[in-house]
Structure 1
């Protein structure tokens, strides 16, 4: 298929552009295979390059016959970055042509037609982001021990289609045991290492067991879990579903591990049902939140009521609460934990990821966060292509569309808000991750799993987002000048009053953030200047000490000479 076949009107003059915080502009519209470009001949006026992939909904409004302008109408573009753009077009035929072209181009289903496969960076790739965070590298210290090994049992993705080819498993467990355990778990997602805490406690994740209404057991699965624990020790199974929802799953052949067969493990239920079930409720909550943020006409009281009724912050609170429980089990009790929901995807990965940010200071650095996303989301098979095909504006939503990754980023933002000096990166990096996960010139978030990415050769035909973010000039813009490395766990307040709306994301196209950003930059510059001053003072003190030592040495030498003269 040629892109030209989808573009009816490639260029159109006299389009009036309405965009946030700018006056209407008379612009020229150009439609290419991947971008909608709006530009004006005036040098001081903005130019917009909009990826078709970023468009969530295309609406058209035809001017009525009683209108002052009976011809043409408007096209409303509602984007996955939450921005809304309006294009006024004077001719009805041109309006329909542009609408149809954008509708086609923003709904391409074949990933190989997307922009990452056509994008060619204009800068030198200093390091390949696709090879930075391989399991062999990330778990190098553990693999050097006698406890863990890399298994290639899933090298052709036949044991578990959503897992990666290289998996970290207990050294005492052979591949036949893994294969048997995979057949006992939903989607083949058998218990796998997620994180090992400093005290030796281990965090695992999996999907639900398949009991087939008969409480059937899997000795192989039990062997894997019990190999994590020593004799006479206990572990926790944190089920991200409520008891009632887990019982509903049992009626369909799933459920929970039978207590009689997992005697060393104690089960705790955390009710993240709507996240675990992926039934569209979380996306509906996100939609209500964005609708409330975009409605500037309602009163403050009504707006707060709409914010509360959206339940978005409740989802964030519950997710962070569950992650804190996991972190406490690992850190405070020194007990290993298995986390799972139904499919071992949304709520499971969300909880294990946030728990690691709480416990592991490395995850609060730029590269550490990238590594975490690689391990827990990309290599763990989170289906970005399915989840992010649609967002809050689209009229055509599927139960597979869900903003779980955004919930994860919001949880980090809440931690960042409560511990602003414990993160190496600013919240702007989280905003960038949100955008790139939905639309990007980079291939990092394409596909639903590693098998998908291997099939379409992502690593050979596209550029990694990490290669871009880790360039020195870009990295500098992401760094938090208030950062003071904190090697301990950070324990957030999970009280309702402690949670804040992420204004820099949800309100950035509604309330002009320019003054806020200038103020923040001023504060950051003052902090940086103070750090530079302290560094200079420290250097001067060291130089002074060195001079004093040299002076003392000279005096000692003079005294020695004088003594020699007197004694001679």
Structure 2
């Protein structure tokens, strides 16, 4: 081939696992082969698709030119060439052979086993009619039927040709329902439980959008799915299923934040007001990019350990082996085990709902081919012992991964990219500054090329295999296959030796591009290789005990063949990474299950996604043209205990917010940039002409979504008023003006327990700098109470003399959020020695820390100490000491401590 610049290089040093040996490198059309001199080690064969990265380094002091090769099998080796030209030729040849422009250039289309494999039925090992017939479709139940609506892949190109749907749903309804699901991936049956008629169906996210779109066909479709076990004519046996229809679940595998982001793009999640007899749960499993970054941190830690070990060996005369230099803390910080724990947590939830609650489960994520495939296949692995056999596990992968359209080509990155071939020799030359700058730009361009191709890669199937390994480790006697079988599957997922894992969907495998025979006829199936006698002998689990899966067994500890793994008991699959268990895991530390799981959710009022993505679902200040709400009931003074309280939770605690009718057709459309009726306007409500002028208007509570748009998430008064500093200053000025007016118009004796307005009025007596200090006292204070005086401190906010009329504020037409008018000021009364405090008409701001309320107009130190009950002092001791409060500790009057 023209891509091979050099086919053979001798006297090359290969460093691997801390040891360095000499040998010869061979480059073929599909493999890099290293043959050790003297046969000291077995030949190393590396298929080009297994190469994840190649780095060419500058010459060493010994005059050698090294190449570092990283493989997808987590192996790293370095090749040291005596001539730089050989290193360049090998680097460029491997790059040309690894970076493919078409899937038909991969090894699978050139591989021909010699001798031929004993079996050749790998491409037909999975038959939908046989597999779903085994579950009981058409025999145990008649509630489900096969449909050929997608026989030519016209309904959904990424779905299988054979689909199983409820019998009550016609093909016409399927056509309409497909338009409501992302990529037309409608709900389709993937599993029917053997002990009851509970089902697992899978689909993609609904196209809800911020306008809350609906599809009657989709709603009827899912309703029919959740009722497939209740119709008398749907079953051969009409026995009652205990516990059915109690907890039908819609599983949204994503975090709520991801669902909100998809809503902004026109998709989203189900509005549970429209789906009967069901609840929804968010599992909080991160997207493909988070998984890719997490595994990258694991790989980086492994490579750093290899580099450190190689450095130690190069500094010592004798090579060191068996030394663990792996940073286990860095492995845990990668979050990889946390992600696997979240997947297993969702698996347990689905398994229990199917087997124990005898209820249905509908699973989806975004497009329904990544997290959906993981959860669906792992749940079936736990529910059905058949899938824990060799043949059953192969059928499970064919059904839930290959047939339902997992994107192996994109996620595995089979075509590779120039980005993964890095040459760090640009700056080693002796050229001038212009050459160095040009080399720098070339290197940066190399780093940022092919990003669109790389961002689709993610170790989703790898994560599934590692999750299976976790269950296999917890239940070692329940699997017919061993760890080696999983390891072989992982290897051939990336080797591209077989055609099973090199395409994105069933249509691409069975139809192809139309230019020739379909790929299934041109390539060998991986199952033909794994089912050969020599391989099966090595892949069998000697401790497998099928009697433990006896469904009729009532022995102690019997589980009817249904497994319930522990999500916290997860460890790194050390065999896959080529390490020991002690090296990677050490002492077992249980992984805490993540708190992102949200649910069950029965209606839209409980759904955080609907509250965050649909502005009309949150209590918002109405526009001035709207009729204001009633002010007959005062809002509570005390703030909610949670500063991030959601809007619906706040509505349940505030009567006026709960009485608002903002659902249905009366909801305002989402117009965040409208100047007249913006849903996110922060202006207080302006009373209309028919409202009571004596009752002050009250600003509505602000939800988290509003805080995000208005204040950027900053929990402060300024973020709620305005981002304009001058407007905020004017509001504060107006507040102090109102307080001064309240002080001048007050009359009568001071109450023992002042209201919030009285407390602010006391603070308004702060004198200006240089003025004489005032002493505030109360005739109703206890005899032991010593009055305090405010020292001479000027109020920096008092820009206007309170004796003159205040200047007009920009907020003059709205309610002052701090001050109160004389008519609306609420005072407290004292009856029989008991203090009774009326509620303030203003809502307490949950994001502002309120100072403690002054008990009397005259506050003594003795009262404060007595109320605290510190130590063993007597009341006489507590009342013996008093001191004046220095205003320098509170120059702005924001609170007394």
TM-score normalised by the chain length of structure 1: 0.83
Partners in 1 of 2:132 and 2:251 — Cα distance?
Answer: 24
Q: Which runs of 5+ in 1 are unaligned?
A: 514-568
Which residue does the alignment assign to 2:166?
A: 170
Q: Does structure 1 residue 76 correspond to structure 2 residue 147?
A: no
Q: Does structure 1 residue 239 correspond to structure 2 residue 252?
A: yes
Which residue does the alignment assign to 1:271?
A: 284
Stretch of structure 1 that moved more, 314-323 or 163-172: 163-172
Structure having greater relative contact order (Cα 8 Å, sep ≥ 6)? 1
Q: Which runs of 5+ in 2 are unaligned?
A: 231-243, 310-322, 421-446, 550-560, 585-897
Structure (1 or 2) with the greater helix fraction: 1
- Matched-pair contact (CA < 8 Å) for 1:293–1:510: no
Relative to 1, partners in 2 of residues 1:321 and 1:472: Cα closer, same or farther, differing over 3 Å?
same
Which residue does the alignment assign to 2:185?
A: 189
Q: How does 1:23-172 map onto structure 2 within 5 Å?
A: 23-40=19-36, 42-64=38-60, 67-69=61-63, 72-121=64-113, 122-141=115-134, 142-145=136-139, 146-172=142-168
Superposition deviation, residue 176 in structure 1: 1.5
Superposition deviation, residue 126 in structure 1: 2.0
Superposition deviation, residue 19 in structure 1: 2.6
Superposition deviation, residue 36 in structure 1: 1.2
Q: How does 1:396-435 map onto structure 2 within 5 Å?
A: 398-435=454-491
Partners in 2 of 1:300 and 1:46 — Cα distance?
Answer: 24
Superposition deviation, residue 364 in structure 1: 1.1
Which of the numbers 557, 576, 580 marks the counterpart of 1:505?
A: 576
Superposition deviation, residue 111 in structure 1: 1.1
Which residue does the alignment assign to 1:538?
A: none
Stretch of structure 1 that moved more, 320-329 or 256-265: 256-265
Superposition deviation, residue 68 in structure 1: 2.5
Which residue does the alignment assign to 1:222?
A: 219
Which residue does the alignment assign to 2:772?
A: none
- Matched-pair contact (CA < 8 Å) for 1:126–1:467: yes
Superposition deviation, residue 300 in structure 1: 7.9
Q: Secondary structure at the match of 2:564?
A: coil
- Matched-pair contact (CA < 8 Å) for 1:73–1:88: yes
Which residue does the alignment assign to 2:555?
A: none
- Matched-pair contact (CA < 8 Å) for 1:293–1:507: no
Partners in 1 of 2:76 and 2:190 — Cα distance?
Answer: 39
Q: Does structure 1 residue 470 correspond to structure 2 residue 536?
A: no
Which residue does the alignment assign to 2:802?
A: none
- Provide runs of 4+ in structure 1 moved above 4 Å: 297-302, 390-397, 509-513
Which residue does the alignment assign to 1:520?
A: none
- Matched-pair contact (CA < 8 Å) for 1:82–1:509: no
Q: How does 1:225-304 map onto structure 2 within 5 Å?
A: 225-230=222-227, 233=245, 235-272=248-285, 274-275=286-287, 278=288, 280-296=289-305, 297=308, 303-304=327-328
Q: Secondary structure at the match of 1:63?
A: coil
- Matched-pair contact (CA < 8 Å) for 2:76–2:303: no
Q: Secondary structure at the match of 1:319?
A: helix
Partners in 2 of 1:26 and 1:512 — Cα distance?
Answer: 28
Superposition deviation, residue 216 in structure 1: 2.1
Q: Does structure 1 residue 438 correspond to structure 2 residue 438?
A: no
Which residue does the alignment assign to 1:366?
A: 390
Relative to 1, partners in 2 of residues 1:51 and 1:193: Cα closer, same or farther, differing over 3 Å?
same
Q: Secondary structure at the match of 1:259?
A: coil
Q: How does 1:484-499 map onto structure 2 within 5 Å?
A: 484-485=545-546, 486-487=548-549, 488-495=561-568, 498-499=569-570
Q: Does structure 1 residue 6 correspond to structure 2 residue 6?
A: no
- Matched-pair contact (CA < 8 Å) for 1:290–1:506: no
Superposition deviation, residue 473 in structure 1: 1.8
Q: Does structure 1 residue 20 correspond to structure 2 residue 17?
A: yes
Which residue does the alignment assign to 2:864?
A: none
- Matched-pair contact (CA < 8 Å) for 1:364–1:423: yes
Partners in 2 of 1:346 and 1:480 — Cα distance?
Answer: 29
- Matched-pair contact (CA < 8 Å) for 1:20–1:510: no
Superposition deviation, residue 206 in structure 1: 0.6
- Matched-pair contact (CA < 8 Å) for 1:20–1:509: no
Q: Could you list the per-position Cα deviations for residues 244-299 of structure 1 after superposition, in whole angstroms to 9, with x for gaps in the alignment?
A: 33222212211122222212221111111x23xx2x22111101112223433599
Two-structure CA RMSD over aligned residues (Å): 2.4
- Matched-pair contact (CA < 8 Å) for 2:302–2:326: no
- Matched-pair contact (CA < 8 Å) for 1:161–1:451: yes
- Matched-pair contact (CA < 8 Å) for 1:379–1:449: yes
Which residue does the alignment assign to 1:553?
A: none
Partners in 2 of 1:341 and 1:30 — Cα distance?
Answer: 45
Q: Could you list the per-position Cα deviations for residues 373-404 of structure 1 after superposition, in whole angstroms to 9, with x for gaps in the alignment?
A: 11111111000110011799957762211101
Partners in 2 of 1:371 and 1:302 — Cα distance?
Answer: 38
Which residue does the alignment assign to 1:543?
A: none
| Equivalent residue pairs, number | 499
